[in-house]
Amino acid sequence: MMRRVAQSLVGCALVVWGLSATRTSHAHSASDAYLTLSAVSVTPASSGNVVIHGQWDIALRDLDFVLQLDDDGDGRLTGAEVRRHQSDIEHYAYRFLKIGEPGRVCAIKPGRQMVDDHADGAYAALFFDAVCPRTSRKITLNYSLFFAIDPSHRGIFVMHGDKDVATALMSPDNPRVDLSF
Amino acid sequence: MIFEDGAHLDAGHHPHRRIRAACWSALLCGLGGVTVSPAAEVAAGSDLAPPPPFRAPYVPADDEVLQQVPSTTDPAVTNMRQLRRSPDAAPQSLPAAKTLADAYIDYGRQVGDAHYAGYAEAIIAPWVRAATPAADALVTQATILQYRHQFAEAREYLQRAIKIEPRNGQAWLTLATLDMVQGDYATAGKDCVQVTNTAGVETGLACSGNLRSYVGQARQSMAVLQQVEAADAAAPASYKAWIEGLLAESAERLGDWPLAETHYRSALKWLPRDNFLLVAYADFLLDRGRPHEVTPLLADHTQSDTAFLRIALAQAALHGDQSQRYIWIMAARFEALRLRGSDYFGREESRFALQLQHDPDTALDLALRNWQVQRAPWDARVVLEAALAAKRPQSAVSVLEFLERTHLEDPILEPLYHQLRAQLATAAGRQ
């Protein structure tokens, strides 16, 4: 009898830790990224294009999970390792951000990549410009970073307008936001 | 500018506050001309403004260590990577998906990282969404939800699993835990009977042993748990650590501090980096007036929010020169949680508000909201402590009645209980 139970415990880790009523508080906040877009400008005036400046902070921990940035596997992600993977990070991330609609897609032009410290660790800071044809007063943003591998990921979106700041929480249930100008 | 649809975080909220956690660097906030510097925020609420702990986005030096990540020298990490290949190779196999999901949950729990619950959820999702889901998939989903304190949703999944497979021992055990967490001990007792019927006598005994510590039978709880432990000397380390952790808690219920410490240390011998055990032991040390032992204990676990709070509490108790900095970062972490819409840190937030922000009214509100969803001894304690500090004994009545009803023994709760009852009696006498 004892042996059977022990074996069932080996085979099923949940039995072991499923029961500890006073210790249910989990410890680390789940995955967040911060997407900040800034005030709109029209440059050059003759082109009629709308340019949106952006900064996208994505946790290095999350990027390491999908891209294995820690080349030597020592658990310490260095500046050199992150730099070596900058183009991987860029290619990966921008696949999950679409601005504009079919026929009026904004071109995302990646800029420099830096590191930004947040309360829960270091993030890759991806700077970019989105160049949108000025044919509409509305621009749709679709965000799907990490949703396929972690539905609890949240994109915390901040839009700085001329006079105000608006925020939205991007999730698998709310991957889209319409920006009006 | 407005959002025409999509989820609004909080339309009516002042934007500075909402974006504070998003903008560690002045540069990020400064993008649109809004400037909220961390130092300015702290200075507004404190005379002891420490230097801002974060810098503007920067280009790191090559040898600068930016982030700790799971190391491939950790067997658990290599095991997860190997398991990750199985669902790819056999996408139709629920056991492969479940094994990986369980490994993620287990690892996330040990190191105190909620990301892994998300990874597990993604792996198990196709099985949960199936037209006729397997009970095991629903139980795994319930475990993830329970971990996130989404208790009502977790319960629904467990009830569905039990309907599909009434003899699913794991479902009953998880339900028993849920009922204990929420203070429904009568139902938990019935669940434990089902655990015995479906998962075996020893697991059932562990279930009821744990339960007894909440209903004034801590001594019997210890006897039962010791019996369970002795029954199989060859049990895996995680199982032994779990039983030792429960024994430590029961010893605390009895006020037998040396015995509790022996069990905590023994549990940590089996699982030295287990976040839950480390945090419970750190709380023990804080209660025993030994804050100087907390920082070394948790030094390698600062990424865990629960561990970080204990370090902040210890630093404050020691009047350490970094204590304001710890408080600032802890506040920032809570703010980041609020931004993402999470409120399942009520117990921790209440302690933070009371002990580190010296705001008993906020602490009491947080503790009472937390009490609506979970009712473990620590959940009772944060209500009682905050109610005393806020001089609002009436707010704690439902917790006092709960303690009377359940006969919970606890040498720390007991004096709080009596003080509040005395204050209530005095107030009644005045009327």
Which chain B residues in 215-254 lie under 8 Å from chain A, judged by CB atoms?
231-232, 234-236, 238-239, 242, 245-246, 249
Predicted confidence band of residue A45 (pLDDT cuts 50, 70, 90) = low
DSSP-derived letter for residue B256 is -
Q: Which residues of B161-172 are buried (b: 16+ CB within 10 A; e: fewer)?
A: bbebbeebbbbb
Distances (CA, A) of B131 to B29, B134, B153, B158, B176: 46, 10, 18, 17, 27
Contact between B133 and B115 (Cβ < 8 Å): no
Which stretch of A36-45, A113-122, B276-285 has the lowest confidence by average pLDDT? A36-45
Residue B355 to residue A148: CA distance in whole angstroms: 40
Contact between B121 and A150 (Cβ < 8 Å): yes
**pLDDT, tens only, A69-96:** 999 999 999 999 999 999 999 999 999 9
The pLDDT assigned to B91 comes to 76
Please report, in angstroms and rounded to a whole number, the separation of the first and last CA atoms in chain B: 55
Closest CA to A129 of A110, A143, A147: A110
One-letter amino acid of A37: L
- Residues in chain A with CB shorter than 8 Å from the CB of B214 are 21
Between CA B35 and CA B41, with CA B39 as vertex, the angle to 5 degrees is 70
pLDDT higher than 50, residue B177: yes
Closest CB to B67: pick one of A6, A121, A165.
A121
The residue written with tokens 């294009």 in the block is: A49
In the structure, how many helices (H) and strands (E) does chain A have? 5, 12
Nearest CA in chain B to A176: B6
Is A78–B66 a contact, with Cβ atoms under 8 angstroms apart?
Answer: yes
- ipTM value, please give it: 0.84
Average confidence (pLDDT) over B28-39: 28
* Whether B113 contacts chain A with CB within 8 A: yes
- Residues in chain B with CB shorter than 8 Å from the CB of A156 are 9, 21-22, 339-340
Average confidence (pLDDT) over B194-219: 94
Question: Which residue of A120, A136, A147, A149 to mutate against B (max B Cβ within 10 Å)?
Answer: A120
Distances (CA, A) of B399 to B361, B370, B403: 17, 12, 6
* Whether B284 contacts chain A with CB within 8 A: no
pLDDT higher than 60, residue B46: no
Contacts of B233 (CB under 8 A, 6+ apart): none
Q: Would residue B255 be called left, alpha or beta, if left means φ above 0 and alpha means ψ between -120 and 50 degrees?
A: left
Average confidence (pLDDT) over B378-382: 97
The two three-digit tokens of residue A58, written as one number:
């994505």
Contacts of A127 (CB under 8 A, 6+ apart): A53, A54, A55, A110, A111, A112, A113, A114
State the pairing for strand pair A138-143/A32-37: unpaired
Helix (H) or strand (E) holding A6: helix A2-11
The pLDDT assigned to B45 comes to 34
DSSP-derived letter for residue A171 is B
Contact between B271 and B279 (Cβ < 8 Å): no
Contacts of B192 (CB under 8 A, 6+ apart): B176, B204, B207, B208, B211
* Whether B155 contacts chain A with CB within 8 A: no
- Residues in chain A with CB shorter than 8 Å from the CB of B206 are 19
Alpha-carbon distance B357 to nearest alpha carbon in chain A (angstroms): 18
**pLDDT, tens only, B250-266:** 999 999 999 999 999 99
Phi, psi angles (nearest 5°) of residue B20: -55, -45
Cis peptide before A44 (omega within 30 of 0): yes
The pLDDT assigned to A72 comes to 96
Please report, in angstroms and rounded to a whole number, the separation of the first and last CA atoms in chain A: 70
Question: Which residue of A10, A15, A144 to mutate against B (max B Cβ within 10 Å)?
Answer: A15
* Whether B321 contacts chain A with CB within 8 A: no
Alpha-carbon distance B425 to nearest alpha carbon in chain A (angstroms): 31
pLDDT higher than 50, residue B30: no
The pLDDT assigned to A47 comes to 67
Question: What is the overall mean pLDDT for chain B?
Answer: 86
Between CA B79 and CA B88, with CA B84 as vertex, the angle to 5 degrees is 150
The pLDDT assigned to A178 comes to 87
Does residue B255 sit in helix, strand or coil? coil
Nearest CA in chain B to A83: B62
Percent of chain B whose pLDDT exceeds 90: 71
The pLDDT assigned to A18 comes to 39
Q: What is the DSSP string of B391-424?
A: T-GGGGHHHHHHHHHHT---TTHHHHHHHHHHHH
